[in-house]
A and B are shown apart, each in its own frame.
Chain A
């Protein structure tokens, strides 16, 4: 699974770089507009170390933000399944919050929380929370009638059991949405760093943009791609292991 994701990423990345280089040589553009392969290589050798640390920093915040938003979405969705009104209210609130562009909300967050870890975490969680919440609300408010009916008629149904039944029956769907939102957690963290943080790969990209240094940005994108692929593969592996275990039990 890992090697497949990595080589798929390599294909996409090198196709993109190849296209840029074709444009560069086709239009005779200088290294300022599109760097030469030699410059990309030299930049890669110089900045791979510090950028790798920056990507790991970003990834750590993204994973934490992702976990926070999964917990939060699960809690809200469990509450939201109580009545149709609460569910619809939470959905409306989630839509409204998501409608605000993060670049407009971020400065307020940074004023309140400063430019440290808390702000990055919150923005990452905010960006990946929405798709999680919508799917979780859908899953937890949809009864699995054929199973739930048995427990209800025998009077053994509890809210915990109801949640377990619905989660078990939709585990494939939940895994897919968690894996899908992982990339959004990464994107959210990078956006937060780009806007105001002083650490992480988003901050490094911002500095590279100030310096109009596309070679640095290409190196950063390469490492972000590798980091994100590793995270997605890990999530898929956890999801598969969980499904296998549930099926066994």
Chain B
């Protein structure tokens, strides 16, 4: 009898050991199901310009706000705005020119936050070979530009601002390959200050060459870069979801760019972007921080209405949009300055 009790007890214990992890798993699944799932399409592949998005996801910021966010990389053929309208994503990242083009064609979108306070697009040049003290010095220079890209719009705005006509400069069509710049065939080459500039700068340093950057923003052309967007329908029908998403995302960005969390931010980014060496990421992060948090007092993600108005003006002048889009109506209230 005692033996039988002992056997029963042993069997029960065994069953308990098997059931326990299953219950834990089921509980975890139940917990997961309570989270509201949304898709978030980035503008580009995972790189330093997405570190905050990845950080918010990896560090559980979204989960703490009751969200399960699928952070999906973008790319040259991906358009977050189209995915929003088609319902494949609920949130996305797009540049201001994309937003304005879409709005001009009736896309029902709203800008929730502006990630870059300063557009990271710059032109790299060799100061010992290319004299550049004032914009007037652009005359007679060969300048790289991606025809159809936003750098073309920015460069044309810059030239117009300083009264330089197109026949006074030579525009060179650029792609991803930097060879024409390395070979000295082009004087100015467009790149993103927080991403490629670090890599290209390092190569030039190794070759013993000097380099500097021309910033359109510093020369008065304020063309907005990446912003977080959603649909008007999402904002109206699921305002709580939008609020929770934005709160978690901006907190994620703020913490990812905080120097205290650098090691963790680097780890999160490298888990997603295995191609970029850690040393490069560590050099990219402070530059990204400067471009996204220009003043310590300003709140992260604030929408710069004046910069948006200037962006609209540039696009209208260059006939990139057919008419006014009333840019103020695209910017989510409560996050503008």
Contacts and interface: CB of A to CB of B under 8 A. Distances in A.
Contacts of A107: 176-177
B148 A30 contact: no
B80 to A, nearest CB: 11
Contacts of B102: 30, 32, 212
A207 B147 contact: yes
A209 interface: yes
Contacts of B148: 206-211
B82 interface: yes
B77 A30 contact: no
A160 to B, nearest CB: 45
B14 interface: no
A209 B146 CA distance: 12
B81 A32 contact: yes
Interface in B137-170: 146-149
B77 A209 contact: yes
B127 to A, nearest CB: 26
B106 A212 contact: no
A32 B79 CA distance: 11
Contacts of B39: none
SS class, residues of chain A in contact with chain B? loop
A27 B108 CA distance: 13
Interface in A178-216: 195-196, 198, 206-212
A33 interface: yes
B86 A27 contact: yes
A27 B101 CA distance: 20
B173 A32 contact: no
Given A210-B148, A212-B102, A33 B82 contact: yes
Nearest to A29: B85
A11 interface: no
Contacts, number: 55
B175 A31 contact: no
A30 B177 contact: no
Given A207-B148, A211-B101, A212-B98, A29 B86 contact: yes
Contact of B105 (A27, A30, A207, A209): A30
Nearest to B94: A212
Contact of A31 (B81, B86, B105): B105
A9 interface: no
Nearest to B104: A32
Nearest to B106: A30
A175 B91 CA distance: 53
B98 to A, nearest CB: 7
A212 to B, nearest CB: 6
B106 A196 contact: no
A83 to B, nearest CB: 42
B106 A31 contact: yes
B287 interface: no
A96 B98 CA distance: 41
B264 interface: no
Interface of B: 76-77, 79, 81-82, 85-86, 98, 101-102, 105-108, 146-149, 173, 175-177, 179, 320
19 contacts: A27-B86, A29-B85, A30-B106, A30-B107, A32-B101, A32-B102, A33-B107, A39-B105, A115-B173, A196-B177, A207-B147, A207-B148, A209-B77, A209-B148, A210-B147, A211-B101, A211-B320, A212-B98, A212-B102
Given A32-B102, A195-B175, A212-B82, 15 more contacts: A29-B85, A29-B86, A30-B102, A31-B105, A32-B106, A33-B85, A39-B105, A107-B176, A111-B177, A115-B173, A196-B175, A209-B76, A210-B146, A211-B148, A212-B81
